[in-house]
Every structure is written in structure tokens, then in C-alpha cells.
Amino acid sequence: MNVEGAVAVITGGASGIGRSTALELARGGADVVIGDVHDERAAAVVAEIEGLGQRGLAVHCDVTQDADGDALATAAFDAFDHVDILMNNAGVPLMGPPDRIPMDDWDWILQINLYGVIRGVRAFVPAMVERGRGYVVNTASVAGLFAYSWDSIPYITSKFGCYGLTEGLALYLRPKGIGVSALCPGLVETNLAENVRISGLEDQSVWFAAMEDFRPVPADAIGPMVVDAIRADRFLILTHPEFADVLAARGRDLEAAIAARAAGLPAPPTL
């Protein structure tokens, strides 16, 4: 899809990967609607978009709320008449042993990381189908492609769901003229850790120390990857090319891959 002249909506667009993608889209000639719970940050990104010569709009949006998803769509359609690109990007991490995590915490992460994506699809995709054109990018994770550790099972669960939804959407929407991409980042330098919840771990410093052993990618590098994928209509977006080898190995021998990780071999955490 050509992004010049397009209208994009990005949830979780006030920082990190969302902000990077919003600014790259604006550089390419797109107008961008930022949906986020952080109003001041969203307004700052809109100012950056306008500084690039494009129109921007900030809308308060909590992706766990049906009404907020509907209000985001209403605001976008009222301001721009149509939406060409939807990026469901809002996400949070939850750490801890799965048998010790309260159901309220399970509900919290699934409502944001999975149901938030579903709400975005329901709010925006019907109009794309009616027009016969559009593009959807869902931010999953490499954690949605393989389970990298036991202490992030809620996050892995939510991202496997997001990835599966996205792959299914590609089968459903591409024949209708709508492109679909799954963004599967590894460790990225964002502020996602501001919202991390850790349940059932006596030493919470272990996880944060482990992250220091792996190569993070700057958030500003992700936006160009996403926009390039939109232009090329490419489904899978990997921020860390080395994960392609992990996925290939997993596909060749899933039992061996699971056994190796269970034996304690190092595997990269993701944000």
C-alpha cells in the first residue's frame, strides 16, 4: 500500500514503537490518529506529526473498553472520513509463575494484548471491507511465535493469541483487498516496562537483570520496518533477523526446541 495520502490509526501510539511508526508514516505523507491513555504524550506526538506537515489527532483510548474503541473510530472517521491503516499496538507485560498469578492479572493482560486487538479490528475493519481496501498491522512479539521462557507465560499466551488472530485475518482479509502484517519484535528500547506487573516471584530483579544480556533495538528503528512492510504488503515483520533461525529450527523439530528451552538453555526475553 502507498502510505502517501493515507489516514492511519495507531493504538499505543504515544510512545515507543507506536510513536516511531506514526512519525515514519507522517514522513511518508500520511495523516495519523493517536489512540492512547497517556494524553500528554499523545498530544506531543501529534505536534511532531504536524511538524512534519501532516495532520494529527490525539484521542484518549483505553483498549480494554468497548466504548473507547468505538469512540476512537468515531473520532477518526469524523475527522478524516475514512481510515486506510490500522495499527493495533497497545500492549503490556506480565511476569510470574502461571500457577501463582491471580485471575485478575490474567484478565488484565488478555484484555489489553488480545482483546484490545480484537476491539480494534471490530471498530475499523468493517469499513475497510466495505471500501475494499486498507491495511492492518498487529503488534505481536517473537513471544507469539515461540515460548522463550517459563516466567512470561501470560505475556506469551496473549501474544500467541494476537499472532494467531493476525495470521487468520490475513487469510480472511487479503482476498478482500486488505493487507495484514504481524509485527513480532524482540527486545526493543521502549517504556513498556513502566506498566510491567510481576506476580508470584520472590526476586523480581532476576527478570530485569536477564534482559541486559540481549541486544535491544532502538524504538526509532521499528517505524521504518513497519512502513516498509506496509508498502511491500509483507506479512511477517521481524525486528531481529536472528530469530528467523530460531523459527526455522522450531519448525524442523518442535519437540527438540521445547526440550532445549526446558533444559535451561538461554532464550531471549522480549518487549
> Is the pLDDT assigned to residue 271 strictly greater than 50?
no
Average pLDDT, the chain: 89
Residue 178, Cα to own-chain centre: how many angstroms? 18
- Marked catalytic residue, from 115, 148, 155, 163: 155
> Is the pLDDT assigned to residue 187 strictly greater than 90?
no
> Is the pLDDT assigned to residue 128 strictly greater than 80?
yes
> Is the pLDDT assigned to residue 214 strictly greater than 60?
no
pLDDT per position as a tens digit, 89-108? 999 999 888 898 999 999 99
CA dist 100 and 86 (Å) reads 35
The answer as to whether 174 is a domain residue is yes
Average pLDDT over residues 187-202: 70
What does the pLDDT read at residue 217?
86
Q: For residue 183, what are the domain limits? A: 7-262
Burial class (CB within 10 angstroms; exposed 0-12, middle 13-18, buried 19+) of 168: exposed
The answer as to whether 193 is a domain residue is yes
> Is the pLDDT assigned to residue 185 strictly greater than 50?
yes
What values do phi and psi take at 10, rounded to 5?
A: -130, 120
CA dist 147 and 240 (Å) reads 16
pLDDT-above-70 percentage for the chain: 85
Which CATH number do you get for residue 232?
A: 3.40.50.720
> Is the pLDDT assigned to residue 256 strictly greater than 80?
no
Specify whether the CB–CB gap between 226 and 24 falls below 8 A.
yes
The answer as to whether 268 is a domain residue is no
What does the pLDDT read at residue 169?
97
pLDDT per position as a tens digit, 134-181? 999 999 999 899 887 777 899 999 999 999 999 999 999 999 999 999
The answer as to whether 270 is a domain residue is no
At residue 202 the predicted structure's pLDDT band, cuts being 50, 70 and 90, is low
Total domains in the fold of the chain: 1
The answer as to whether 123 is a domain residue is yes
At 236, list the grid cell.
Answer: 511477517
* 264 Cβ contact partners less than 8 Å away, ≥ 6 residues apart: none
Average pLDDT over residues 50-78: 98
Q: Helix-strand-coil percent breakdown of the chain, rounded to 5?
A: 50, 15, 30
Burial class (CB within 10 angstroms; exposed 0-12, middle 13-18, buried 19+) of 77: middle
> Is the pLDDT assigned to residue 262 strictly greater than 80?
no
At residue 204 the predicted structure's pLDDT band, cuts being 50, 70 and 90, is low
The edge-to-edge listing of strands for the beta sheet with 134-139 is: 56-60, 31-36, 7-11, 85-88, 134-139, 178-184, 236-238
At residue 247 the predicted structure's pLDDT band, cuts being 50, 70 and 90, is confident
pTM: 0.88
> Is the pLDDT assigned to residue 14 strictly greater than 60?
yes
> Is the pLDDT assigned to residue 270 strictly greater than 60?
no
Asked if 155 is an active-site residue, the reply is yes
Average pLDDT over residues 29-57: 98
